[in-house]
Every structure is written in C-alpha cells, then in structure tokens.
A and B are shown apart, each in its own frame.
Chain A
Amino acid sequence: MTDLTRLSASDLAKLISTGEVSAVEVATAHLDRIAAVDDRVHAFLHVDRAGALEAAAAVDRGEITGPLAGVPIAVKDVVTTKGVPTTAASKILEGWKPPYDATIVERLKKAGMPILGKTNMDEFAMGSSTEYSAYGPTNNPWDLGRIPGGSGGGSAAALAAYEAPLAIGTDTGGSIRQPGAVTGTVGAKPTYGGTSRYGLIAFSSSLDTPGPCARTVEDTALLHAVIAGHDPRDSTSIPQPVPDVVAAARLGATGDLTGVRLGIVKEFAGDGSEPGVTAAFQESLQKLVKLGAEVVEVSCPHFEYALPAYYLIAPSECSSNLARFDGVRYGLRAGDDGNRSLEEVMSLTREAGFGPEVKRRIIIGTYALSSGYYDAYYGQAQKVRTLITRDFQSAFEKVDVLVSPTTPFVAFPFGSRTSDPYQMYLADLFTIPTNLYGGPAISVPCGLSEGLPVGFQIMAPTLADDRMYRVAAALESAVGTFTPPAL
C-alpha cells in the first residue's frame, strides 16, 4: 500500500475527493508518522490528534468539500488556534489556549483541512535556527545534528520529515523561506497584506506575513489560495483579489519561461555565500535560461543597508508588540507573592518568561525608539526602507522577478552561530530586503551542497505573487524535488 505521508497535498486531495482514501486515513497516517519520528525531529510543540481526526471525519461525512478538503496541515505555534495551546514557543505563554482562531486558521477549517498540531519555532519568531525555542530546538531531518532554519523550523522540518504535507509559516525577515531552503522544502512569503495577520502573534507588525509551506510548488500555491485574500479584521490587509497563483504554478510546470526576465542583484555578489550555495544557484540559473528565461544584472544599491535597517525596525515594533505580555491578563505570572508591587510582578514575569534573543530585541527596540535616539535609529531605518522599496521598483522596471540564493549557507550545526548574534542574522541577508519592501518571494529547493539542500529565492513585485509561482514551478520541473535520507 502507498505510504500516504509521501504523497503531495494535491494527490492526497484527489484521492480523498474520489473516495479512494478517507480523510481520517490520511490524518491517521500523518499522526502515526508524527508519533513515530517526532521524538527525534521535534517539529511539534503540540499535537491535536482528536481535533485533527474530528475535522477529517467531517470531510468524510461530506460536510466540507474543496480543493484541499481532508488534507492535513501543521500550523506554526505563533498563529492562534481556538482551544488549542498557542505559545509562540515562549514560556510566557505556556499553556495559553486562545479563545479565538486566526483568520487563516478559520480559512483552513472552512476548507476542511485537519490541523495536526502546532509547530516549533524560535521564540516569538525571533531567530534563524529554532535554537531560541523555549521548548528546545527542532532537528533538521536531513541531519539531526543541524538546524532546520528559523524561525519556522518546525513547519519546514515537519514537511521534510513527512509528518505533514502542508504547513503554515510566518515570514518577518525570512522565517518561511530560510527554513524552506535548509530543509529542501518550498516556502512562500506572500505580498504583505495579501494574507491576514489577524491571530498571528505579532513580532513586527509592518513586516510579519503569514504564508504557505509545502514540498512542491503546486501544493504551496494551493495552500496560498486557501489562506490569502482580504480580511476586514486586519487594517493592513489588501482589499483586492488574490492573483491566480495555482494557474501560474501549473503554467510554470510546463517548463516554458520564454521571454521571462530574471534579475540578479549586483550587490549580492561577493556576499560571502558558501561556494556550494553559489554553485547550486548558478547551475539552476543556467537551467532557467535553457527554459527560455533571460538573465539581467540589476543594481539595488541600498540592499546593503537592509540588515541594519531591519534590525532597528523589527526590534522597535517588537518592543511595543510584546509589551502586552505582563502577567496581568494571561500567560505566566511570576513573583506575585502578595508582597510585591505591580511593577515588580510585571518585571519578574517578563524576566522569567522571555528568552535571551527576545530580551535582546526588546532592549534594542526600546533604545531605538527612545526620545533623542528616534531620528537617528528608527527614523533613519524607515528612510532606508523607502530607498530599498525604490530599488525594487526600479529593478522591476527592467526585470520580471529578482532571483538569488535564499540564504548564504546550508543548514549549520547546532550551537555554531548562537554565540554571535550577527552571524545568526546573516542567515537572512537575502530574504530581508523583500520584507522591507513588502513584495512576495518564494524559496524553492535547487540542489545540494555537501549533501544538504540549497534554496533558490524568487522575488516579485507587490501583488504579483503569481509571477514567482510560475518561475518557481519551472525551476522545480527542471531540477526535481529532493528527498532527505530516511530517519
């Protein structure tokens, strides 16, 4: 019998809709897989077996139909799920059960997609390795001694370990794409405002973007279509129709890129990428040229300031967004022994509840917003953001998409970058500019370097999410997919 966990979401949906397998069988297969391997992978912080099976049964009863009805999914633990623990991988929210579903979770449920559980991540989505999870790191299925990327390492690892065919991630500076790259899976960051942030526990409001993760480009597009679209509960949600990303992915899969102009960013050359990463990227680029694409070098002179600008904007917003975790209304409360003042209890709660990277960013952000420093830091970073946006806009006058490696290096061993935050931050060197601009970008596996996956990033103009899916599917058709060694 076929191992259901090895199938794509698209194939599973077909089998379920034709009645060849039941949604409960599919959910059970994945739950069993999780039970079998997750002690080694640790992709999940919480598994909702009962909830997933009940949702699957509803599909089997014919209550819900749709393109992905019955296909199970893993959801990053930073997205609220009603009645199911949601911690953002932080001690400060340990045991918190939200009384409401995020908009994207509502849409998953409406689409008949059983939620298997909540995936591990860096605490509050701050990190590139899941080493900053308060509940221990996730291990990369390609090499259990290496990081699965971050912050969404749990979602990416769940896919690579065949624990789930689909997953939800969130991308603030690369948290969907970089884990996708280092686990040999696909991850897309939609246009900012294209997917609702309502119910996404905020890290950096102007950058956070929920998005789809899968093992194939078509699956990613199918999930994208389910979760995207205007949400009146998110003021920054775009009130426009979602481009037809599924059709674009299917078009791209035909392998024809005639006339498509790919831009490579001059300033990304000499970036310190590992040689194996550069080689895999260049080979893939040649394959795209063979499919008819044209390669154009463009200059984005302000990209070199993206990382510093990001590390002022994101921490500034986070310092304010995370202020609500004070022990007053929910989550952890520390030191409330009846003798301490309110301020002391708030302070002790935050001291005990937040991990080192979260504290580092709150302190950086608090400083950057302080009276007298605002103009020099936050204000200046916003100006850089505008300049980066202009770089993108002028590049897209010359090319259809920009391409780059997703991340400069393959999955690194645990502990190798935690002692120097800057070395960790470099993982997002190529992904951050897109977040500052607000456009869509996707990471697709394009090859291996020393046996580990390399990601290829495609960046498109805002609201042209379909364009990146077309190129991504074409690349996938040329290079194939990559399977990790058996666990």
Chain B
Amino acid sequence: MSYEEILTRYEPVIGLETHVELGTATKMFCGCKTDFGAEPNTQVCPVCLALPGALPVMNRAAIEATIRIGLALNCDIAEWCRMARKNYFYPDMPKNFQTSQYDEPLCVDGYVDVEVDGVTHRIGIERVHIEEDTGKTLHVGGATGRIHGATESLVDYNRAGIPLVEIVTKPVPGLGGLAPEIAKAYVAELRDIIRSLGVSDVRMEQGSMRCDVNTSLNRPGEEWGTRTETKNVNSLRSVERAVRSEIIRQSGILDGGGKIHQETRHFHEDRGDTSPGRSKETATDYRYFPEPDLVPIAPDAAWVASLKAALPEKPSTRRARLREEWGISELDMQSVANAGAVEIIEETIAAGASPAGARKWWMGELARRANELNIELAAVGATPAQVAALQKLVDEGKLNDKLARTVLEGVVAGEGDPAEVMAARGLEVVNDTGALTAAVDEAIAANPDIAAKIRDGKIAAAGALVGAVMKTTRGQADAKTVRELLLERLGVS
C-alpha cells in the first residue's frame, strides 16, 4: 500500500516538541561551565550534583535567551511566571526532580511560518519554556547498551543543569501528505531562527537540538486520533522519516481494525522506523509544584521591549535577500534552506567563493556525503574556508572538476587544506607543455592507425587519443589543452 494511497483515507495531525540546549557559558542554576566533550564529572559542583543543602540560583543569560527565542517565534512573554519541579526518580537527574516550567511558561502563543514548495504553512507555537538538562547515563556490561541487562551504570553529570529551552507547537492538522516534509521544514526553520539569535549552536548531531514528534491519524471528518510520541529524532532527515513511518505504521493498525496506544516510541536511524518505549498508561505522575527555592521570573516590560527591538533579521527575510544576492530561484533557495546550508554557503561566499561555486560544493558533493553518513552539513569535515579555497584552485585552473572532487575527498578525510591535499597527492593540473607534448607524442606513436585517420581529416577520432593522454597523465591534464596540442602535432589544426 503506497504512502499516497494511505493519505487518501487518513489525515495526519502532527505536533513537535523541540529541546534546544542554550549556549550559555555557565549552567542554569550554578556557575559550572557547559563545554561539550569535557572529561566526565569535571564540570560539576554541589548545586548541579544536588548535594544536601545546595540551592539553585537562576542564570539571567538563560532567561534572556529564552525570551529572545519566544520573541523570535512571535510569542507573548509572561509578565510573571514560576519554575516548577517535575518529580521522578532517575539517576542521571541528581535532585530526582527536574526544575522546569509547568502551567506558567515564560513564552506563549506564537507561530512560525514555514515555506514548502512555495506555499507558506503557519505552525502555531503553544509555549516556550525553560528547564534544565539531565546528566548522561552509560549502561555498561550488557549487550544492548540499554539499562536492561547491564552490569553497571556510569553517570556523567557534566550536562546536568545545562539550560534547555523546550518549544512546543500546537497540534497541526490539515497538512495531508506533506506532513513529514513540513515537520522537517519547521524544524529547519526553527533551527535557523535560533541560530540567527546566537543563543545555541543547535546541532542535532551533538544533541544540542532534539526533537520529539507527535503523530496521529484520523479518517476525514472524524475526531483526531490517539497520538504517539516519537523520541530520539536526531536529524532533520529523521524528522521527516519519523513522521512518515508513523503514518504508515498507524494506518496499518487502523486498517486492520486495531487501536493506536498512546505511547512513547523510539526512532531508529538505521532502520528508519519506530519501536515502542514507555507506555503512557504506566507513566509517572510528575507531581508538579512551583519551585520554592527560586523566586518568580518577572521580566521588566522595558527590558523585553528592548530585546524585541534588537532581534536580528528573520531567516526567511534573510533568505529572500540572499536569493536576490546569489541570483538563484526560489526553489533552489528552498532546497538550500531545507538542506540547512544557508549559513554555511554564506560563510563560504564570505571566504571568497562565488555564490555558484559555494552552492555547487555544499549542495553537491558535500550534501551527498552528509546524507550518506546521516550527519549535518557542518559535520562533514570541510569548512567554508576550505571550500572557498578549493573553488579558488578551480577558478585559477589548478584543478579541474574531477581533480577538485578528489581533493575534496582528501579534505573531508582530514588530510589538510585543499592546497595541501593537492600538493601531497600530486593532483595539480599538468599545464607544463613540455611534459604534455611528450605524452601526446607518445600517444601518437603508440596508435599510428588512429593518428593516420586524424591526419586524413577524421577529427572525431581524436577523442581516443585524448583519452589515452588523460590516462597517462592520470587525469591531471586539461582535456581541452590536450586536444589542441594533439591536433597541432598532427598538423590538422
């Protein structure tokens, strides 16, 4: 049964909960650093380890960042709100409660406009609230790395207490078969907006942006169906795949007369589908109550107004401007945006590449590689400066297209900058005429029959000899030059 066919019988409703780790220098409630990748348990103190007696104090920068995100998502900012405790036991949560927000979020009721295939879809934002991250548990000694079957568990509290912003959409009905694409475009837009604010590096592959995707299906005209919440959706591509796979899975159950259970499901990047997690029926009662250790948040209206006035250009506005500057079509710009390549191409142009050159590499070779490895573009191993340098070598005639691809392979493999890779691998275009002439003469001598045909005016036969020269020069010669030289040597030019 095809996806298209399913959508003739069912209407999906989606909703997204996105967690963004803020890039504040210090944690949410203490002065510990937030550097990624530090040795386990080196960025901890009595507060984020929840030692007896320790107390939290709010990080003003985190509040400011959250308000700016709220404003950028067209939300209202609460004049007064409180943090709340979400109580449940888990070893990577030192206090055994998460300091979060419950019924008094800092930002409410906004929206994001998302463009797919030239059509704008407005995604409602229910709330934006602030909370803290947990530590990380590593289960060792078991086969699966999951808690089941593990012989011991190691906990790293470096991440515990890093500020997190949770952005929750309103339920989005009416998207039909475009739901997966729009979900992906929404997350991409959200990422671009947050990146433009400079409050997070929003890198899904590092976990600084994480998505939970809610999906339900209903038959046309009927009430919304029971939703499932898919967790562990760690890339833009996975957002799309997760929605699609849930639509297909749920329709299969509904077609068979079955019922959808409200549950948490895990998305598997490798298989592209979901498996059941914790059932909501046995879910914890979080016993939320206002956090008594923290005073309420009451942002000054003038302060909020000044933050609003200082918001950067919206990514969609910026894209329109860049489209103009780069001279590309709306559709091309859309695919650049969907690939999450706007910034990186812009940086590459800033580093000296032409718009066409920058776009060619990032949307071509590098996008392909990112897709294959299922990683973000920024993680493919080439920097904007390197791509700009590569394009410069092409423009200067030192590399042809094919050689440039090989050099790029070396760059992403970590062999160095393009010039270094070119030199180390000996890939520069051979434009030493002496060496080329020798190669041409050699080819003529080795293929007297073909040479004779060319001399007789069968110019089309030259291709075979050009190919032979390219072969002996390992592709490093410029084919056009070789052809000219060959004809000259045969006296037919």
Complex Cα distance, B53 from A326, in Å, reads 15
A195-214 residues with Cβ-Cβ distance < 8 A to B are 197-202, 204-206
Task: Please choose the segment from B291-299, B387-395, B461-469 that sits at the chain A interface, where 4 or more of its residues have CB less than 8 A away.
Answer: B291-299
- Asked if B55 and A233 make an inter-chain contact with CB atoms under 8 angstroms apart, the answer reads yes
Complex Cα distance, B49 from A330, in Å, reads 10
Task: Please choose the segment from A217-225, A316-324, A470-478 that sits at the chain B interface, where 4 or more of its residues have CB less than 8 A away.
Answer: A316-324
Q: Within 8 Å CB of B294, what residues of A? A: 235-236
- Asked if A198 and B55 make an inter-chain contact with CB atoms under 8 angstroms apart, the answer reads yes
- Identify which of A102, A319, A328, A346 gathers the most chain B CB atoms within 10 Å of its CB: A328
User: What 0/1 readout, one digit per residue, does chain B (278-299) give for beta carbons within 8 Å of chain A?
Assistant: 0000000111110011110000
- Asked if A197 and B287 make an inter-chain contact with CB atoms under 8 angstroms apart, the answer reads no
Complex Cα distance, B208 from A117, in Å, reads 46
Q: B438 near A: Cβ within 8 Å?
A: no
Whole-angstrom distance from the CB of B201 to the nearest CB of chain A?
28
Task: Please choose the segment from A25-33, A92-100, A259-267, A352-360 that sits at the chain B interface, where 4 or more of its residues have CB less than 8 A away.
Answer: A92-100
Complex Cα distance, B289 from A316, in Å, reads 9
- Asked if B295 and A370 make an inter-chain contact with CB atoms under 8 angstroms apart, the answer reads no
Q: A240 near B: Cβ within 8 Å?
A: no
Q: B379 near A: Cβ within 8 Å?
A: no
Whole-angstrom distance from the CB of A448 to the nearest CB of chain B?
37
- Asked if A234 and B89 make an inter-chain contact with CB atoms under 8 angstroms apart, the answer reads no
Q: Within 8 Å CB of A198, what residues of B? A: 53-55
- Choose one: B57, B89, B289; the contact of A233 (CB below 8 Å): B57
Task: Please choose the segment from B94-102, B163-171, B482-490 that sits at the chain A interface, where 4 or more of its residues have CB less than 8 A away.
Answer: B94-102
Q: B262 near A: Cβ within 8 Å?
A: no
Q: B381 near A: Cβ within 8 Å?
A: no
Q: Within 8 Å CB of B153, what residues of A? A: 342
Q: A406 near B: Cβ within 8 Å?
A: no
| Number of B residues with CB within 8 Å of any CB on chain A | 32
Q: Known contacts being A99-B46, A326-B91, A342-B153, is A320 close to B53, with CB within 8 Å?
A: no
Complex Cα distance, B285 from A80, in Å, reads 32
Complex Cα distance, B289 from A86, in Å, reads 28
Q: A369 near B: Cβ within 8 Å?
A: yes
Which partner residue on chain A sits nearest B147 by CB separation? A342
Which partner residue on chain A sits nearest B287 by CB separation? A369
Q: B52 near A: Cβ within 8 Å?
A: yes
Q: Within 8 Å CB of B87, what residues of A? A: 319-320, 323, 369
Q: A419 near B: Cβ within 8 Å?
A: no
Q: Within 8 Å CB of A328, what residues of B? A: 91, 155
A100-120 residues with Cβ-Cβ distance < 8 A to B are 100, 102
Complex Cα distance, B292 from A86, in Å, reads 23
- Asked if B89 and A98 make an inter-chain contact with CB atoms under 8 angstroms apart, the answer reads no
Can you list 19 residue pairs at the A/B interface with Cβ under 8 Å? A100-B54, A198-B54, A198-B55, A201-B52, A201-B53, A205-B292, A235-B57, A235-B294, A236-B293, A316-B289, A319-B87, A320-B97, A320-B289, A323-B87, A324-B52, A329-B51, A329-B94, A374-B288, A378-B289
Q: Which residues of A contact B (CB under 8 A)?
A: 79-80, 86, 88, 93, 96, 98-100, 102, 197-202, 204-206, 232-236, 316-317, 319-320, 323-326, 328-330, 338, 342-343, 346, 366, 369-371, 374, 378
Given pairs A98-B51, A371-B285, 11 additional interface contacts (CB within 8 A): A86-B52, A200-B53, A201-B53, A202-B52, A235-B55, A235-B293, A320-B87, A320-B289, A323-B89, A325-B52, A370-B285
